[in-house]
Amino acid sequence: MPKPLRGLAILAGVAAAWVAGHALLRPAGAQLTRITVPIARLPQALSGLTVLVISDLHVNSPKSRALDALDQLAGLRPDVLVAAGDLAEAGRWVSYVARRLAAIAPVFGSFAVWGNHDHFSWPEPGEPAWLGETARPLPAMRAALEQAGVHLLENAVARLTIRGAPLQVVGLNDVRAAPDDVERTFADTDGSMTTLVVVHSPDGAFELGTHRVDLVVCGHTHGGQIVPPMIGALRTATRCRLPKAHGLMHIDGRPVVVSAGIGTVGVPFRFGVPSEAVLIRLIRPDAAPAEGRAAVPAQGSTVDARTAGPPPGHAPLVS
């Protein structure tokens, strides 16, 4: 083999070993990323409210590492828990997820939306390949969530009263898998209330029009899942171009938090972006740094929207 080709082969082998080693040695759990978001019209009673975002578990067996990650979050007791879709790769695993979401023990309520992987599945090992993509048993999956106290929002609105202040949670269907009837859903909202929108893909954040929304939370992108150094995320699986693959960003002037999620799809590992659950803390813009309840101690990064810079623009993704 010529020396130049031998050198390239060695580099390729080193790179492959690096990727494999990273995959094999990654921790089974997920980091807890803490993000502080100031909300302009947040009632004083809601300042310090914590919202835990779980997304993209893709559970496919009782031994899934995503279930181990959820076990590590047991007893965390955020104020509100939202599961932003892609919970399981087959309907029968949803009950495993639901029990662990209940064990996190949110104080005021748990809510979920479906992701595109929740709606459809491919044949499992031992099933004939000709079955192709098949619809999931969504009613049974919904029942498993509801039995565990997780309220599924399919183009629906839930209202909470927390320390005397109202909060409404709007759950929208994933735009890739089911109709996201934004106008009909928002007809049931109260524009005077603090409004949290949960939708699986960040594409949904581009569909909100002029509706008054204080925060959008999403998943779907996996943060790119494979993020080579100096290159960045190779894809986000979104139709619209995002300011970045995950984290705190602004879309149409609204704060949007996109979780990198916990599980994997396609290849059974991540590179350059860890699994994460996201703990969001809502504050008033005039709040002192110490105001509100202290965030739950955990490993992971902390982002404060007050130092995140001006809202970046966006443009359609050219195919």
Distance CA 296, CA 274 (A): 19
In this predicted structure, what is the pLDDT of residue 295? 34
221 found inside a domain: yes
Q: What does the block give as tokens for 103?
A: 């064990």
209 contacts 122 by C-beta, under 8 angstroms: no
43 found inside a domain: yes
314 found inside a domain: no
Read off the pLDDT of residues 125-152 as tens digits, 9 standing for 90 and up: 554 444 444 555 678 889 999 999 999 9
Which CATH number characterizes residue 159's domain?
3.60.21
Distance CA 132, CA 119 (A): 14
In this predicted structure, what is the pLDDT of residue 3? 53
- Structurally, how many domains does the chain consist of? 1
Closest CA to 141 of 182, 169, 100, 113: 113
In this predicted structure, what is the pLDDT of residue 113? 96
9 found inside a domain: no
In terms of residue numbers, what domain contains 103? Answer: 29-307
104 found inside a domain: yes
* pLDDT band at residue 291 using 50, 70 and 90 as cut-offs: very low
6 found inside a domain: no
315 found inside a domain: no
Cα angle at 130 between 125 and 132, to 5 degrees? 80
Average pLDDT over residues 178-200: 93
62 found inside a domain: yes
88 contacts 58 by C-beta, under 8 angstroms: yes
pLDDT of 245 above 50: yes
Closest CA to 108 of 39, 166, 57, 147: 166
* pLDDT band at residue 91 using 50, 70 and 90 as cut-offs: confident
